Amino acid sequence: MRLSRFERRILGAIVAVAVVTLGGALWFGQGAVSEAYGVGVNQRVLDQLQDSLGIYQRHFEALRDDAERTADAVAYDRRAYVAMEADDGAGLHAFVEGSLTRYPNVARVVVTSADGDELARAERPDRLDAERNRLLTLERPAADGGTWQVTLATPWEPFRAHQRASDLVEVYAQLVDGATYVSSFYTGVYIAFLLSVIIVALAVGIIVSRRVTRRVAVLAAATERVGRGDLTVEVPSDGKDEIAELTRAFNSMVRDIRNSRDRIEYLQRIGAWQEFARRLAHEIKNPLTPIQLAVQQVHRTYKGDDARYQRTVDDAAAIVEEEVATLRRLVGEFHEFARLPVAALEEADLSEFVTRSLRGVDLRALSNAEEDVPAPALVLEVDERPTTVQIDAQMLRRALDNLVRNAVHAVTAAAPEGGGRVIVATRAEGSTAIVEVRDDGPGIDAEDRERVFDPYFTTKSEGTGLGLAIVKKVVLEHDGSIECVAAPEGGACFRIRLPAQEVA
């Protein structure tokens, strides 16, 4: 996927904003997580707990020392030594029994000889209860090579408490270790979230910017085509955003350039044709009178009695008269076309002008229809609201007359049984006034709709093909435009647009 410079810039901006905001949030968030965790779990508390275990440890060492001293005191007592030296079994026994009362932590004392015979034994069953007490048996050498076995009892409770405390310390130490783990876990989750947000933002950014850049690229390509002189471009401009507005402005600019170019071209062409018409009229007009006079003279001066020749001369004279008349009419029309005046514009109301121009028009006379068939109907659809335009009434009336005349001809030529409609409509669209001349005749083929405005384009045997050329020239002189389209009634529609003062 290739990114345009504009897209890269947008994506860069998205990444920058995402990284700054989300990265900031990550930094604060991570601080917050470890702070929140640290309130409950931290190294200081763990150290304290481990210290308290040390206290237990020292207590146990003291207990052990005490046990050693008690064992020494029992085994190395002078009275026991004396009783053993004297082989006094009863004395030894009494001494051993006595040590159970002398020392509250002694549970059992056993004395054996060097041969392994038991010399004396005393014990307190209540102290020997292994459930309640922790028992520790220490050995000491006896005077005759035998052995003292002193069993000492300590209550289990401090040992159990120590066990519980060290379990606790172990769990707590795990938690402290976990604090880094927890915070890095959340950091990982957060970074994954950050990355997915950035990816989504980038995707959305690409989609949105692509929609914009693609349309800008279309516009750029269209501009290039216009630069190469192709004024037929039209860029689709649906939508309501700035790009659509720009596109519409571009299209209307191209349309304006195209119109003014067409206009200039047409006026140049018309100018050339006018010059041609002027010379043609001049060249034809001059010999017409001598031809007419010569034939008239031949006709008049023939005094022979050849009846057939007389008829030939009569026919020739009549034909020449008729054709000369046609030529004179043509010359007149060429002449008129050649001398089309420059429009002198004056302010007028369009609908009023149209109504007035068409008031006296007799469609039956224009159509040359037989008396017994119905003449075409003239339908006026004028916009009653005032529309002020700048017109040369005489020239525009002539244009209107040409259009109505063409429409009547088209309608009657297509329907010999009579009838048909010619519609003249006016309306305003913003600062444009529109006049339409429509009919329900045969219409004009799409490929001829441009050519009909060319001088001398005609499909009629008697036509000059100058009618629509004059119409277009007049409209262009009014700074307007004319187009030929298909009429909703089925025939042709000639639509004139003139600049108008916008009605508030």
Ligand X SMILES: Nc1ncnc2c1ncn2[C@@H]1O[C@H](COP(=O)(O)OP(=O)(O)OP(=O)(O)O)[C@@H](O)[C@H]1O
Among 376, 420, 467, 491, binds Mg ion (CB under 5 A): 467
Q: Write out the H or E segment, with its range, that includes residue 242.
A: helix 242-301
Measured from each CB, the residue nearest to ligand X is 467
> What is the distance, to the nearest Å, from the Cα of residue 236 to the centroid of all Cα atoms in its chain?
15
DSSP 500: B
Q: Which stretch binds ligand X (CB under 6 A): 144-152, 317-325, 334-342, 440-448?
A: 440-448
Pick between residue 420 and residue 467 the one whose CB is nearest to Mg ion. 467
Pick between residue 247 and residue 406 the one whose CB is nearest to Mg ion. 406
444 binds, among Mg ion, ligand X, none (CB under 5 to 8 A by kind): ligand X
Among 205, 420, 441, 480, binds ligand X (CB under 6 A): 441
Alpha helices in 103-156 (DSSP H): none
Pick between residue 10 and residue 471 the one whose CB is nearest to Mg ion. 471
Pick between residue 103 and residue 337 the one whose CB is nearest to ligand X. 337
Q: Quick one: CA torsion of 443, 448, 451, 453, rounded to 10 degrees?
A: 10
> What is the distance, to the nearest Å, from the Cα of residue 131 to the centroid of all Cα atoms in its chain?
82
Per CB under 6 A, 444 contacts ligand X: yes
For residues 274-304, b (16+ Cβ closer than 10 Å) or e, as one string?
Answer: beebeebbeeebeebeeebeebeeebeeeee
Pick between residue 255 and residue 460 the one whose CB is nearest to ligand X. 460
Q: What whole-number distance in Å separates Cα of residue 274 and Cα of residue 139?
A: 147
List the structure tokens of 468: 């629509």
Going residue by residue from 463 to 482, which x/- string records binding to ligand X, judged by CB under 6 A?
Answer: xxxxxxx-------------
> Number of residues in contact with Mg ion, rule: CB under 5 A?
2
Per CB under 6 A, 433 contacts ligand X: no
Q: Which stretch binds ligand X (CB under 6 A): 12-20, 100-108, 462-470, 474-482?
A: 462-470
Per CB under 6 A, 440 contacts ligand X: no
492 binds, among Mg ion, ligand X, none (CB under 5 to 8 A by kind): ligand X
Q: Are strands 421-429 and 133-141 parallel, antiparallel or unpaired?
A: unpaired
Among 295, 492, 496, 500, binds ligand X (CB under 6 A): 492
List the structure tokens of 153: 């009892």
Q: What is the DSSP string of 429-460?
A: ETTEEEEEEEESSS---GGGTTGGGSTT---S
Q: What whole-number distance in Å separates Cα of residue 151 and Cα of residue 350?
A: 134
Q: Check: CB of residue 140 under 8 Å from CB of residue 72.
A: yes
Per CB under 6 A, 399 contacts ligand X: no
Q: Check: CB of residue 435 under 8 Å from CB of residue 426.
A: yes
C-alpha dist (Å) from residue 245 to 66, 234, 251: 101, 14, 10
482 binds, among ligand X, Mg ion, none (CB under 5 to 8 A by kind): none
Helices then strands, counting H and E runs in the chain, come out as 11, 11
Going residue by residue from 347 to 386, which x/- string records binding to ligand X, judged by CB under 6 A?
Answer: ----------------------------------------
CB of 265 to Mg ion, least distance (A): 22
List the structure tokens of 110: 């056993």
Pick between residue 452 and residue 474 the one whose CB is nearest to ligand X. 452
439 binds, among ligand X, Mg ion, none (CB under 5 to 8 A by kind): ligand X
Per CB under 6 A, 29 contacts ligand X: no
CB of 481 to Mg ion, least distance (A): 19
- In the chain the first and final C-alpha atoms are separated, in Å, by 52
Per CB under 6 A, 460 contacts ligand X: yes
Per CB under 5 A, 406 contacts Mg ion: yes
SS3 for 444?
coil
Q: Which stretch binds ligand X (CB under 6 A): 2-10, 72-80, 159-167, 436-444?
A: 436-444
Handedness of CA 123, 128, 134, 135 (dihedral sign): positive
Q: Over the Cα atoms of the chain, what is R_g? A: 63
CB of 361 to Mg ion, least distance (A): 15
Q: Which stretch binds ligand X (CB under 6 A): 171-179, 190-198, 336-344, 400-408?
A: 400-408
Q: Check: CB of residue 76 under 8 Å from CB of residue 82.
A: no
Among 457, 485, 490, 501, binds ligand X (CB under 6 A): 457
Q: Which residues contact ligand X by CB under 6 A?
A: 402, 406-407, 410, 439, 441-442, 444, 452, 457-460, 463-469, 491-492
Q: Which residues contact Mg ion by CB under 5 A?
A: 406, 467
